[in-house]
Structure 1
Amino acid sequence: MEFLINENLFVSTKLYQLTKSKQKTALSYEDYQNKDTFEQVKHESSFMSQTVSSGVRYDLLGKIAQETMLTRNTIAQILSKIQPYKFDYFKHNPEEFIQECIRLITDEKSLLIKDNISYHEIEGKFADEIFFTTNINRKPEDQHNKLTKSVVDQVFTDSDVEKDLLKELESHEEILVYAKLPRSFYIPTPVGKYTPDWAICFAEGEVQYVNFIAETKGDSSKKGLRAIEDAKITCAKQLFNNMSSKTIKYDVIANYGELETKAGVPLSKKDALSLEEQQSLINVLIHDQQ
């Protein structure tokens, strides 16, 4: 762990900017209207070469321990093995030093635990009211109303990928009902709470997995995921794999086509090849091989 921090911990040096200006000798009415009464003379940017104390006391061990869910003693052992010149970053930029340590420790922790996690069913359940919580500070363009298959009439999406999927869920007949899962519904993981994006219910007999829990990403591969995101997704897969029901599945999807494929949806009649089309395709393939 300390090797990871020594290799990857970089904290930016605080930068200050100095702008020298002087008032214009002649001012027009437009200058007053536009509040353009000064003209810039010189603009300088410099890095701080000395440590400046603000008087703010930082609970270094406590903050990192709280965010990484490790003990103060464990954090102390990790930090004690950091190279002195790396630890010196704390004096120059304590806030960024703490956040970078949290990020690196959490990422490394996720790699160590994700393949060893297991879940067991316990008593209790989430209340239905979690779907009716008020969404504040959301953009109007992210709001979707008059939905016919959602468990609630109003849904907020977080990306264009989710907007496109929402349209598909509303238009496909095999979808019975779906829910955009709220943040108050979550899966506990060792690297923090995780909320999948969607719960989707297909019509009985249409698919192998009638109930599908989906995480939407622009790319359903793991190429663009941070270690902590990858760990949360791995934990979610382990949770649903451990469930006794064989009609539920969790996976990452990029679009409705991937949802169909991963849910085990058979080709619809309009997409299936007729016997004549199948024979014609076979003949073409045989001809190509000759």
Structure 2
Amino acid sequence: MKDEVSFDELKSKEAFGKMTSKTENSTLSIHSQVQYDLVGNIAEDTNLTRKTVAQILKGINASVFAQFKLNPEAFIREMSRIINEQQASMVIQGLKYNPMKDGYPENDIFVSNENIPLKSFKADRHIWDYVVTDSDNERKFVEELDGADEVIVYAKLPDRFQIPTPFGNYNPDWAIAFDKDKVRQVYFVAETKGSMDDADLRDKEKRKIESAKKFFTTLNEENHLLGDAVKYAVVDSFSSLMSLVK
């Protein structure tokens, strides 16, 4: 832990490094500026002990810490966000998936008990006759996907198809099989978003996506003798998808 943390370092999240903690039988004595409410609120927001939070706050120089007096709620919120982001990065860095023999039944993806809304897309290459879309961007994506000669078959994955992550279960959007004679990447799992900019994604959503990348990396490592790898990526349009498979 640094003795002092500049404002720029705080914003760039480089001030914290790797956060560690240990249990000690001692009485905590924190800087006189640090009030219990500040420590307690951040501890509650980050699931850290008050002692660990106090140690982090001690590393902040006076000019940055003065912002707490100007806007306590904003200071607590920003500190908690940065700490949580650092913790999440450490969790993802150490995340490992262990393949299991159990899985979804092979024909489960072909069974749908969902009601079909009137505005559903009538598809030709989808495993079901109709595709339910959640947004205008998704509707445009599926229209182009369904009309592409490079696509053999695709599926919008049901909600029950989930990948476990430390941040909650994650349900990818699409599974796609391309014509191997027309693209270099045959099997693809895609997540469609209105933007591929990380800043536009919610923190929890970003963490699930990063976890999913680890999942598919493990899947490909374990199944390398069974055929082509499955590529996973976030795309914001059909053209961005094709740029990854061509």
Larger strand proportion of the pair: 1
State the partner residue of 1:57: none
1:255 CA displacement: 0.5
Matches within 5 A, 1:106-145: 109-127=87-105, 128-135=107-114, 140-141=118-119, 143-145=120-122
* 2:234 paired with 1:256: no
Q: Look up the equivalent residue of 1:125 and give its one-letter code.
A: G
> Contact 1:189–1:235 (CA<8 Å) still a contact in 2?
yes
Matches within 5 A, 1:151-170: 151-170=127-146
> Contact 1:196–1:215 (CA<8 Å) still a contact in 2?
yes
* 2:167 paired with 1:185: no
Within 1, Cα distance between the matches of 2:101 and 2:204? 28
**Runs of 5+ unmatched residues, structure 2:** 1-18, 20-33, 55-76
1:179 CA displacement: 0.3
- Report the CA distance shift for 1:9/1:111 in structure 2 as closer, same or farther (over 3 A): farther
- Report the CA distance shift for 1:140/1:212 in structure 2 as closer, same or farther (over 3 A): same
State the partner residue of 1:239: 215
> Contact 2:151–2:177 (CA<8 Å) still a contact in 1?
yes
Deviations 1:205-240 (A, max 9, x none): 222210010000111121211221111111111111
Secondary structure in 1 matching 2:153:
strand
Within 2, Cα distance between the matches of 1:200 and 1:8? 48
Matches within 5 A, 1:70-81: 78=49
Within 1, Cα distance between the matches of 2:126 and 2:40? 45
Identity among equivalent positions (%) equals: 31
Within 1, Cα distance between the matches of 2:40 and 2:232? 33
Matches within 5 A, 1:84-123: 109-123=87-101
Pairs aligned (count): 179
State the partner residue of 2:74: none
Secondary structure in 2 matching 1:201:
strand
Within 2, Cα distance between the matches of 1:133 and 1:227? 31
> Contact 2:190–2:235 (CA<8 Å) still a contact in 1?
yes
- Report the CA distance shift for 1:234/1:140 in structure 2 as closer, same or farther (over 3 A): same
> Contact 2:39–2:53 (CA<8 Å) still a contact in 1?
no
After TM superposition, the score normalised by the length of structure 1 is: 0.53
State the partner residue of 1:97: none
Secondary structure in 2 matching 1:168:
helix
Q: 1:204 aligns with which of 165, 180, 184?
A: 180
Higher CA-based Rg: 1
> Contact 1:110–1:228 (CA<8 Å) still a contact in 2?
no
After TM superposition, the score normalised by the length of structure 2 is: 0.61
Greater mean alpha carbon deviation, residues 112-121 or residues 250-259: 112-121
